[in-house]
Amino acid sequence: MSAEAPSLRLPGFYRATEVRVHDTPLSPIVELTRWTAEEERRLGRRPTVLFSEVVGHPDAAVLVNPCPKPVLLEAMGLDGAHWAEQLEHRLRAPGPGVLTRRREWKTLSGLDALPVPQHRPGDAGRYITAGVGITRSPEGEVNLGVYRVQVVDSHRARIFFDPRTDAHRNWSRHLEAGESMDVTVFIGASPVHLLAGASRLTEGGSDFEVAARLAGEQLVLDDRFGVPVDAQYVLTGRVGGTLETEGPFAEFKGYYVPARESPVLEVTEVASAESPYYPTIVTGAESGLTLMSLQNEYLMYAHLVERGFPVESVVYPHAARAEFLAVVVSPEPCEELLRAAMDFDVRSKMVVCAPEAEDFWQMVAVYGFSVEKHTYYRKGVEYGDRVGFVFDRKPDGWPVEF
């Protein structure tokens, strides 16, 4: 069933989507996500579900699929039709700034007090997937990132830092200086922080300033942990040179990534809001792919518009895992536009520049197009080709009415 967001202890931006409430007790070990997967198959889409009766956690609720696109746009106050243009203007404007104030926290016994799910049967254990990690460079620059965290016990976890991320660089530099690195993870604040953490935006300074620009308003951090005042959970700890085996874990492409050595997070403090909800992202569909597609779309849009190209929209379809196919819609598709898009996002395996995006196969049938081919590299190793299509030769005649 569905209910209004305030009665579910959820922020107002969840009014932008249907939130279903499941009040039959389920275990956080696979049962929550299995039920969601079965409902997704039945509906043909992933629902947003608040599980209000989580076995072993009577004072918490788990929110699955917390970041569908309407919720993200509502949280940022963006128009659904013109959000990319509005966001591009915000990113070019001066930031609205960040404030701090006091808030109350409830101290928890440790990680076992959190209703952290095991998402799939083949996962190595329970994983925090919608947490935003805060790390700092030795110079004090603040980085936000979304890093999976495998819960080991009440005060120990394993956190995966991709070698390409700022967190991994910060960690490496702290180790080189002979010191461990402080890490804070917050869960359940406005999804603008997840978007800022997933984005490849400006380097230097604080990523909270980036989040404020995305939100279009001042952000407020609490003066104790330095996390957003609307966060539901927060954990603090330190990461040193100790590594342990983390994984396997079901990643966004629909495959398990194998076990690997990752740093150990020694947890020093865990706290929550008074009546918290716990968001979790099940990889491979809406929420995880929404964050990825939205940040890819606005980054590509802003890059091309800044270079003077007339761009109406950019789409990274979820069917291509929101990363490997980019569709650039322009009234003037051309080879220069295609090259600019392919050079900007070298992770995409296919880039399409076209005057419309509704029916790709219809365009193949009636438009003439040119093709560009580059070498595709996966983690620095040649891995086949990447191709670009520019549909720049208009069909004869005009379209039928029906």
**Closest by CA position to 65, among listed 332, 287, 397:** 287
> Nearest 5°: CA angle at 163, between 162 and 166?
85
Looking at residue 301, its pLDDT comes to: 93
CB 135 within 8 A of CB 181: yes
What b/e sequence results for 256-283 when a residue is b if at least 16 CB atoms lie within 10 Å of its CB, and e otherwise? eeeeeebbbbbbebbbbbeebbbbbbbb
**Closest by CA position to 61, among listed 14, 122, 121, 125:** 14
Q: What is the CA radius of gyration of the chain?
A: 22
Cα distance between residue 315 and residue 323, in whole Å: 10
Rounded to the nearest 5°, which phi and psi values hold at 328? -105, 120
Looking at residue 164, its pLDDT comes to: 86
Per-residue pLDDT of the chain (402 residues; tens, 9 = 90+): 444 443 457 999 999 999 999 999 999 999 999 999 999 999 999 999 999 999 999 988 999 999 999 999 999 999 888 898 998 888 888 888 899 999 999 999 999 999 999 999 999 999 999 999 999 999 999 999 999 999 999 999 999 999 989 999 999 999 999 999 999 999 999 999 999 988 766 555 688 998 999 899 999 999 999 999 999 999 999 999 999 999 999 988 788 999 999 999 999 999 999 999 999 999 877 888 888 899 899 889 989 999 999 999 999 998 898 899 999 999 999 999 999 999 999 999 999 999 988 888 888 898 999 999 999 998 889 999 999 999 999 888 877 888
Looking at residue 345, its pLDDT comes to: 94
Q: How many CA atoms lie within 13 A of 189 on its CB side?
A: 26
Q: In the structure encoding, which two tokens stand for residue 312, read together?
A: 């109406």
Looking at residue 204, its pLDDT comes to: 54
DSSP element (H, E) containing 257: strand 256-257
Contacting residues for 236 by C-beta, under 8 A, at least 6 apart: 182, 183, 184, 185, 225, 267, 268, 269, 270
Cα distance between residue 206 and residue 192, in whole Å: 15
Looking at residue 202, its pLDDT comes to: 55
Cα distance between residue 1 and residue 92, in whole Å: 42
DSSP element (H, E) containing 21: strand 19-22
| SS3 call for 339 | helix
Give yes or no for a cis peptide into 248 (omega within 30° of 0): yes
Looking at residue 2, its pLDDT comes to: 43
Q: Tokens 């746009």 sit at which residue?
A: 73
**Closest by CA position to 366, among listed 390, 331, 396, 387:** 396
Q: Which domains does the chain have, with CATH numbers?
A: 78-281 (2.30.110.10), 288-393 (3.40.1670)
**Closest by CA position to 67, among listed 286, 254, 276:** 286
- The model's pLDDT over 359-389, given as tens digits with 9 standing for 90+, comes to 888 888 989 999 999 999 988 899 999 999 9
